[in-house]
Amino acid sequence: MRIHDIRRRLREAGAGPSHEQRVLRLWSHALPRDSGRRLPHSFFPAGLMAELPAIEAELAGLARVHAVHPGADGSERLLVALADGQTVESVLLPRDGLCVSSQVGCAVGCQFCMTGREGLLRQVGSAEIIAQVALARLRRPVRKVVFMGMGEPAHNLDNVMEAIELLGTVGNIGHKNLVFSTVGDPRVFERLLQERVRPALALSLHTTRDELRRKLLPRAPRLTPEELVAAGERYARTTGYPIQYQWTLLEGINDSEEEIEGLVRLLSGKYGVLNMIPFNAVDGVDFQRPAWARCQQIARTLHERGILTKLRNSAGQDVDGGCGQLRARATGAGVAGQARPVTVDAASIVRRASGRPED
């Protein structure tokens, strides 16, 4: 279901703009019908009052929490069951943040990501995205929503932007606290600037070497790291929000001195911040996270070279931290009928990207 379907149904039941906004606000905030100073029966049309129980039941049926996995860091990873039986993951983050999923599966196929191993199963509707927020708000306050869960938001652009528009208005999330994450689909840079609610932008960079990036993100748009950063810089200067460059640290892959020099070259003077997150172990994927001391050294060196760098730990690492891991565990490491996971040889990726021969 999409948000415009809900709006249409409300209007067919006799809702005017103020009634429609009231229903959507209560839903997105997970508040009961009689919240607020005016009770619904005192100003809702009779036709809307008659239809409201059925509409509310349909909204409540969009998603439910299937499993909760609290982390030692205060995060909570939620496995969310959708109405058709598919599942996605949402993560309640420390400091009132929420990470939501925009697709069941993903078509990009990032080599270090569990979600991409099963491919794209289906899109998540805009109403299902808001349902993830509503479920989270039943558990704790949510003041920031990041589209960094399962899926590539650029591949579900209409649904994601519809959800962002609602969250940035009646959902009461500050526009800079809505974060659209993408591997760099060119459509994003044009579309987001056309919208009333312009989110902050997070770009998955992961390496400064074009050939290596094509190996790590095999079905990402063919933008070079230089082109990706240039597009991000234009968006940042137009919106006034710094770009968040995402970098999953992989031992022996993108933690070299060469990459440090490349980052200094690419990001010096840019309006952005580099988020470095050590890799989360995934069964069957032959990548490793660097030692924490090495991660700290990289971040410190970049800071000293003038690159604003934040070294982060992925929330809830003690409860299957990487996106897609809870779903994979719940479905037996895959969905029936999908291809079996294939072990990724990290060393082979590096050899091919650097032009070195295979062993």
Positions marked catalytic: 89, 323
Q: Sign of the CA dihedral 291, 296, 301, 307?
A: positive
Q: How far, in whole angstroms, is CA 174 from its chain's centroid?
A: 17
The angle formed by the CA atoms of residues 149, 322 and 83, to the nearest 5 degrees, is 45
Q: How many CA atoms lie within 13 A of 220 on its CB side?
A: 23
Long-range contacts of 254-257 (CB under 8 A, 24+ apart): 254/206, 254/207, 254/212, 255/290, 255/294, 255/295, 255/298
H-state helical runs in 217-324 = 225-239, 257-267, 292-304
Host H or E run for residue 349: helix 346-354
Name the DSSP letter for residue 123: E
Separation CA 134–CA 354 (nearest Å): 46
Name the DSSP letter for residue 197: S
Separation CA 152–CA 202 (nearest Å): 12
Report whether 213 contacts 250 (CB < 8 A). Answer: no
Name the DSSP letter for residue 185: -
Separation CA 342–CA 359 (nearest Å): 20
Taking each helix axis from N to C end, the angle separating 157-167 and 17-28, rounded to the nearest 10 degrees, works out to 100
Host H or E run for residue 289: none
From the DSSP assignment, how many helices (H) and strands (E) are in the chain?
12, 14
Using DSSP's 3-state secondary structure scheme, residue 181 falls into strand
